[in-house]
Amino acid sequence: MKPTIRDVARMAEVSISTVSRVMNAPETVVPSKRNRVIEAIKELKYQPNAFARGLIYKKSNTLGLLIPDIENLYFAGVIRGMQDACIKLGYSLMICNTDRDMERTLSYIDTFHEKQVDGIVFASDMLYPEYYEKLTGFRIPFVLVSSHSDEYEVPSVEVDDELAAYDAVKFLIELGHKEIGMIGFNHDNSVSGPPRAAGFVRALTEFGLERNTGRIKYANHRFEHAYQAAHELFSEYPELSAVFCVADEFAMGTISYLKDRNILVPGQVSVIGFDNLRMSGMFIPKLTTIAQPIYQLGYRAAEKLHELLTTGNVAVMKEQMEHKLIVRESSREK
């Protein structure tokens, strides 16, 4: 049977309201009692469900958002969607920028806890055990956006990265391209890197183009890096007639590289991006890309967190939203 707050109080030899205070405003409880309560919570593995938590804890009507890189155009759209949902639902939204730095991320979780946010949306980064432990230790409800966790049961909302990448590469193949490369995310710090690479490989394999599967160079989230990666890719495989880029920023960096080498896009090389950033329709040439519902992902993440905060649960744990191929000017039949 699941332990109750009563069990914790009994084991710690304190009143139920003291247990509640330890969870709600620990600084108001003398350290000796506080430590007994914390020990009892740990020993019993007591977990108030989020609903009960919502009833016990003071609501601040503030949500926190942790994003890895404020300069990445992708997040601007996520933030806009999340903010609009927050306005509708009556929350203030506070944003902190982690730079994918573990120490900073942990420190911002501390800050959000001190500021008593009701919940956190955690965007795009890996949910390392350190983060999970701290968030659950503080009992801060949270959801993941553009990310998911295989290890933990955490609500998440994202697109199907593998299928989206598959669709992008299949599109290039159906245009007649047979020499195809890819600019991908470094796998070691990327949630979507491995599935997008898997989609690339699956499409090539399905159409008998396995010889391309090794033609991948990796970049680190910025178009400057993609420019460099494109240089490496085309130096090694000058025969390529199409490139799948796992981000629109990478597609822009790749096109910029090709332009500087006087290689025409799409005349000589087709480039397809991923994201459908606000920028992608204004770039020259306008980008063919896989559209993520960026705004909706942010909006949905806030709604999901609200659902978790108000009902203690979410109807769909791992939610996937639809992607869509947008054909513009950067791709052409071979």
Where along the sequence are the contacts to a second copy (CB under 8 A)? 60, 62, 70-71, 73, 76-77, 79-80, 83, 87, 92-97, 99, 104, 107-108, 111, 114-115, 223-224, 227, 252-253, 255-256, 259, 278-279, 282-284
Single-letter amino acid, residue 161: D
204 or 287: whose CB is closer to a second copy?
287
Task: Give the nearest distance from C-beta 71 to a second copy in angstroms.
Answer: 4
Cα 271 to the chain's mean position, in Å? 24
- DSSP secondary structure, 99-158, as one string: TT-HHHHHHHHHHHHHTT-SEEEEESS---HHHHHHHHHTT--EEEES---SSS---EEE
Task: Give the nearest distance from C-beta 160 to a second copy in angstroms.
Answer: 25
Task: Give the nearest distance from C-beta 239 to a second copy in angstroms.
Answer: 24
95 or 321: whose CB is closer to a second copy?
95
In whole angstroms, what is the distance from residue 172 CA to residue 332 CA?
9
165 or 294: whose CB is closer to a second copy?
294
264 or 316: whose CB is closer to a second copy?
264
Consecutive H or E run containing 37: helix 31-44
Task: Give the nearest distance from C-beta 267 to a second copy in angstroms.
Answer: 14
Handedness of CA 99, 101, 102, 105 (dihedral sign): negative
Please state the length of the chain: 334
74 or 166: whose CB is closer to a second copy?
74
CB within 8 Å of 271: residues ≥ 6 apart: 242, 243, 245, 251, 254, 255, 258, 265, 287, 288, 330, 331
Task: Give the nearest distance from C-beta 309 to a second copy in angstroms.
Answer: 17
138 or 207: whose CB is closer to a second copy?
138
Structure tokens at 136: 């659950």
Structure tokens at 282: 């204004």
What per-residue string of b and e applies to 258-277 under the rule 16 or more CB within 10 Å gives b?
beeeebebbeebbbbbbbbb
For the chain, give me the number of helices (H) and strands (E)? 12, 12
Distances (CA, A) of 128 to 81, 102, 131, 140, 303: 25, 9, 5, 16, 24
200 or 295: whose CB is closer to a second copy?
295
Question: Which three-class secondary structure state does DSSP give residue 198?
Answer: helix
179 or 329: whose CB is closer to a second copy?
329
Task: Give the nearest distance from C-beta 258 to a second copy in angstroms.
Answer: 10
In whole angstroms, what is the distance from residue 78 CA to residue 195 CA?
21
10 or 328: whose CB is closer to a second copy?
328
Structure tokens at 332: 């052409």
